[in-house]
C-alpha cells in the first residue's frame, strides 16, 4: 500500500536528486509506528523525454508491511504527473473537450487519456461524497454543488476542499492536483484492480498537511 507524501520539491528537483531523495519521518498507516527505510525502486515518469525516478520504500517494524512512499505529484500506477492527468480530466469534463484532442495535445496515447476519464467517472460519486465530508470537517458551512452530473460534482467538491484547506492552512496546502493525490492515497484514479474510492476522514486528511 503506497503512502502519498507532500513533496516540497518540484519534479525536476526530485529527479535531479536521484536516489538521494530524503523524506521526513512517516508513521505506519496501519499501526502508527514510525517507519524505517527499506530501499526503493525506480519507476518511469512520462514528461518531455521519459525519465526514471526513485521511489523510496519503508517498512514497519511492528506489522512488517512495506510501503512505497509516493511523492504527491504522482499517482499510483500512472505514468504521468497528476497535474497533467487532473487538468486533462477537468478540461474534458467542464470544457467539453474530447479525450482524443487532449491526448494529442499532451502526447499521450488515446487509450491512456480515455482511461483517466473513465476511472474518474467510475469514482466520481464516491469521491464527491468523501470530499464533501472532508470539506465540512474543515469548515462546517454547507458545500454548494451546482450540478447533478457526478463528475462535475466531484470536481466542485475537490475545489471546495482545496479552497477550505488553503483558507485554513495557507500555502502549506499543495496545489490542487497534488492535493488531490495527497488526500486520496492510491484511490485518486484507481485502476480496475483497486477498491472503490473509500470514505475519507476529515481528521485523518488534515494530519497529512504538515
Residue from 4, 28, 82, 113 in contact with Zn ion (CB under 5 A): 28
- Between vectors from CA 188 to CA 13 and to CA 165, what angle results, nearest 5°? 75
How many residues in the shown chain lie near Zn ion by CB under 5 A? 7
When asked if residue 141 is in the footprint of Zn ion (CB under 5 A), the reply is no
Q: Find the binder of Zn ion among 1, 13, 16, 31 (CB under 5 A).
A: 31
Considering Cα of 81, then 22, then 70, then 127, what sign does the dihedral take? negative
Nearer to Zn ion by Cβ, of 26 and 46: the residue is 26
Phi and psi for 159 in degrees, rounded to 5?
A: -60, -40
* Rounded-to-integer distance, Cα 71 and Cα 59, Å: 17
> By rule CB under 5 A, what string of x and - marks binding of each residue 174-203 to Zn ion?
------------------------------
Member of 30, 107, 201, 210 binding Zn ion (CB under 5 A): 30
Should residue 33 be labelled a site residue for Zn ion when binding is judged by CB under 5 A?
yes
Please identify, using beta-carbon distances, which residue of 25 and 146 lies nearer to Zn ion. Answer: 25
Q: Helix, strand, coil proportions of the chain in percent (round to 5)?
A: 50, 15, 35
Tell the smallest beta-carbon distance from residue 30 to Zn ion (Å). 4
* Spatial separation of the C-alpha atoms in residues 99 and 5, rounded to whole Å: 29
Task: Select 63 or 141, whichever has its Cβ closest to Zn ion.
Answer: 63
Among 17, 63, 141, 147, binds Zn ion (CB under 5 A): 63
Our CB check for Zn ion shows the closer of 13 and 27 to be: 27
The C-alpha cell that represents 38 in the structure block: 527499506
User: Smallest distance from the beta carbon of 35 to Zn ion, in angstroms?
Assistant: 8
Please state the closest distance from residue 160 (CB atom) to Zn ion, in A: 33
Q: Which is it for the CA torsion 173, 72, 102, 194, positive or negative?
A: negative
Between helix 82-94 and helix 99-106 the angle, nearest 10°, is: 150
Which residues partner with 43 through β-bridges? 53
CA 15, 58, 123, 162 dihedral sign is negative
The binding site for Zn ion (CB under 5 A) comprises 28, 30-31, 33, 60, 62-63
Amino acid at each position: 500500500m503506497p503512502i502519498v507524501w507532500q513533496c516540497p520539491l518540484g519534479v525536476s528537483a526530485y529527479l535531479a536528486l536521484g536516489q538521494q531523495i530524503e523524506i521526513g519521518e512517516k508513521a505506519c498507516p496501519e499501526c502508527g509506528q514510525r517507519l524505517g527505510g527499506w530501499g526503493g525502486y525506480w519507476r518511469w515518469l512520462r514528461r518531455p523525454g521519459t525519465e526514471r525516478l526513485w521511489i523510496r520504500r519503508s517498512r514497519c517494524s511492528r506489522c512488517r508491511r512495506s510501503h512505497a512512499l509516493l511523492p504527491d505529484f504522482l499517482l499510483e500506477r500512472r505514468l504521468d504527473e497528476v497535474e497533467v492527468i487532473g487538468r486533462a480530466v477537468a478540461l474534458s469534463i467542464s470544457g467539453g473537450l474530447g479525450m482524443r484532442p487532449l491526448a494529442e495535445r499532451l502526447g499521450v496515447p488515446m487509450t491512456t487519456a480515455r482511461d483517466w476519464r473513465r476511472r474518474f467517472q467510475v469514482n466520481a460519486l464516491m469521491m464527491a461524497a468523501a470530499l464533501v465530508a472532508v470539506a465540512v470537517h474543515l469548515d462546517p458551512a454547507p458545500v454548494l454543488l451546482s450540478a447533478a452530473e457526478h463528475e462535475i460534482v466531484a470536481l466542485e467538491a475537490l475545489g471546495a476542499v482545496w479552497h477550505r484547506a488553503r483558507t485554513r492552512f495557507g500555502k502549506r496546502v499543495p496545489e490542487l492536483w497534488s492535493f488531490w493525490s495527497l488526500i486520496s492515497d492510491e484511490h485518486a484514479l484507481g485502476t480496475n484492480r483497486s477498491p472503490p474510492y473509500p470514505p475519507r476522514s476529515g481528521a485523518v486528511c488534515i494530519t497529512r498537511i504538515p
